Amino acid sequence: MTLKPDPTRFLSNLHELRQFGAAGVGKGVVRPAYSEADIAARAWLAAKFEDAGLKVHYDPMGSLFGLAEGPSILLGSHSDSQPEGGWLDGALGVIAALEVACAAREAGGPAVSVVSFQDEEGRFGVTTGSTVWSGQLGLEKADKLTDRDGISLAEARSTMAHLAGDFVDPAQFTGFIEMHIEQGPWLDQAGEAAGVVTDIVGIRDMRITFEGEQNHAGTTPMHLRRDAFQALGAFNALIAERFQNVVTPQTVWTIGHVKLHPDAHSIVPGTATFSMQWRDGDGDRLRRMEEIIRATAHEVAEARGLALSFGPMLGLEPVAMDAKLRTALEASAENCAPGSWRKMPSGALHDATNLAQYLPVAMLFVPSINGISHAFEEDTNEADLVKGLEVLAGAVARLS
């Protein structure tokens, strides 16, 4: 069985999808989950799924499926973006899946279903749409999650409620393969065409709030201040020091969002709410880092006379890819790009992590120019996108 995906149709669809929320320099995109651009992009995708002979289905989270009849392999990724993102993060995996489904239909088989998960980028949680589908987070609990502006998932989800059917039964799928950009520097630096993922790191993510005393920035003596931002600064320096005995060069942690109240030049900030996220391939290390984070926050708050609160703790465990699916990707990579691919872990998070609860899963990476992603500048050479598509199609053909 050979599948012949059409590179022109594939690239044209990718560029067309980018028009929904196109923004910023280069090929930037602003298409957060449940935004107008996101919902319009899903409607466009749904029409494409229908043209490909797939049955369109939205689940209660707004994840969009194009379902083949009978047992099928599921391919896809997500079409929502970060608050500032690129045109390929997620979109590539969805459009490549659509193209392989079209090629499979034109070849008279195998059955290929396609998915675009909702809120992979974590406006509300961490890979929220697939986390809820996988049963690791109940819908009722998820509905209470809020974005950085205080809007709840329940509220955001209601904008798509008229489209929603039931959750899809995963028993109809034989496995899940997600193609994605690497989002890191390794393939680009080595001049290699593809990466077959061995495993995906685990993640922890929560909000922390220091609450001190809002006061005048000119008249409040330094020793009387209970400044929430100064507490955040001290906390940040202390955890970096204390992590030294626990982390490896692969461990990462990020404070990416900070909200000060009332956020003004001449006011000592009364509250600082910030995101605290950390990732590693070892679940025990993630737990030890959590202990340091919680203990340090308590210590800083106590020393400075501040109140402290933690938001819900979100997270996913590290996950290994399925051997059979991986072997199909590896054989296809060697066929399409002999000697120019590698096995590698994923430091980014993906919906595949959640699907591993139900199905054998695997992932394929293509290079990211200069390793840039979660930024408008994210890009990949079109020749590499097409090569990745060929590897994916080859793997699906091998598995059938």
Binding site for ligand GLV (CB under 6 A): 121, 348-349
3-class DSSP assignment, residue 214:
coil
Task: At 287, list the tokens.
Answer: 């737990």
Work out what residue 394 binds among Mn ion, ligand GLV, none; the CB cut-off runs from 5 to 8 Å by kind: none
Burial class, 282, CB count within 10 angstroms (exposed 0-12 / middle 13-18 / buried 19+): middle
Between 348 and 366, whose beta carbon lies closer to ligand GLV? 348
Between 231 and 348, whose beta carbon lies closer to ligand GLV? 348
CB of 349 to ligand GLV, least distance (A): 4
CB of 397 to ligand GLV, least distance (A): 29
Listed residue (235, 208, 229) closest to 308, CA to CA:
208
Work out what residue 349 binds among Mn ion, ligand GLV, none; the CB cut-off runs from 5 to 8 Å by kind: ligand GLV
For residue 271, the cross-strand partners are 211, 261
- Round to whole Å and give the CA distance between 170 and 79: 20
Q: Which of residues 73-102 bind Mn ion (CB under 5 A)?
A: 89-90
Between 186 and 229, whose beta carbon lies closer to ligand GLV? 186
Work out what residue 38 binds among ligand GLV, Mn ion, none; the CB cut-off runs from 5 to 8 Å by kind: none
Amino acid at 268: V
3-class DSSP assignment, residue 369:
helix
Between 120 and 188, whose beta carbon lies closer to ligand GLV? 120
Work out what residue 59 binds among Mn ion, ligand GLV, none; the CB cut-off runs from 5 to 8 Å by kind: none
- Residue reference for tokens 């982390």: 247
CB of 309 to ligand GLV, least distance (A): 24
Listed residue (58, 56, 61, 55) closest to 34, CA to CA:
61
CB of 98 to ligand GLV, least distance (A): 20
Count of residues that bind Mn ion according to CB under 5 A: 2
Listed residue (378, 362, 377) closest to 325, CA to CA:
362
CB of 120 to Mn ion, least distance (A): 6
CB of 44 to ligand GLV, least distance (A): 22
Between 33 and 385, whose beta carbon lies closer to ligand GLV? 33
- Round to whole Å and give the CA distance between 25 and 10: 23
Between 271 and 353, whose beta carbon lies closer to ligand GLV? 353
Work out what residue 384 binds among Mn ion, ligand GLV, none; the CB cut-off runs from 5 to 8 Å by kind: none
Amino acid at 191: G
Q: How many residues appear in the chain?
A: 400
Provide the sign of the torsion angle of the four alpha carbons 149, 151, 152, 156, taken in this order. negative
Between 81 and 230, whose beta carbon lies closer to Mn ion? 81
Q: Which of residues 244-283 bind Mn ion (CB under 5 A)?
A: none
Work out what residue 351 binds among ligand GLV, Mn ion, none; the CB cut-off runs from 5 to 8 Å by kind: none
CB of 211 to ligand GLV, least distance (A): 28
In this structure, the strands spanning 194-200 and 341-346 are parallel
Alpha helices, H only, the chain = 7-18, 36-51, 91-106, 128-133, 139-143, 153-158, 186-190, 228-243, 283-304, 323-336, 351-355, 382-399
- Round to whole Å and give the CA distance between 355 and 251: 24
**Residue 227 binds Mn ion (CB under 5 A):** no
| CA–CA distances in Å: residue 212 to residues 175, 216, 252 | 51, 13, 29
Q: Are 366 and 384 in contact (CB under 8 A)?
A: yes
CB of 135 to ligand GLV, least distance (A): 20
CB of 151 to ligand GLV, least distance (A): 20
Task: At 120, list the tokens.
Answer: 């992979």
Between 38 and 121, whose beta carbon lies closer to ligand GLV? 121
Between 226 and 350, whose beta carbon lies closer to Mn ion? 350
Work out what residue 188 binds among ligand GLV, Mn ion, none; the CB cut-off runs from 5 to 8 Å by kind: none
Work out what residue 182 binds among ligand GLV, Mn ion, none; the CB cut-off runs from 5 to 8 Å by kind: none
- Give ∠ CA 77-180-202 in degrees, rounded to 5: 80
Residues at the site binding Mn ion, with contacts judged by CB under 5 A:
89-90
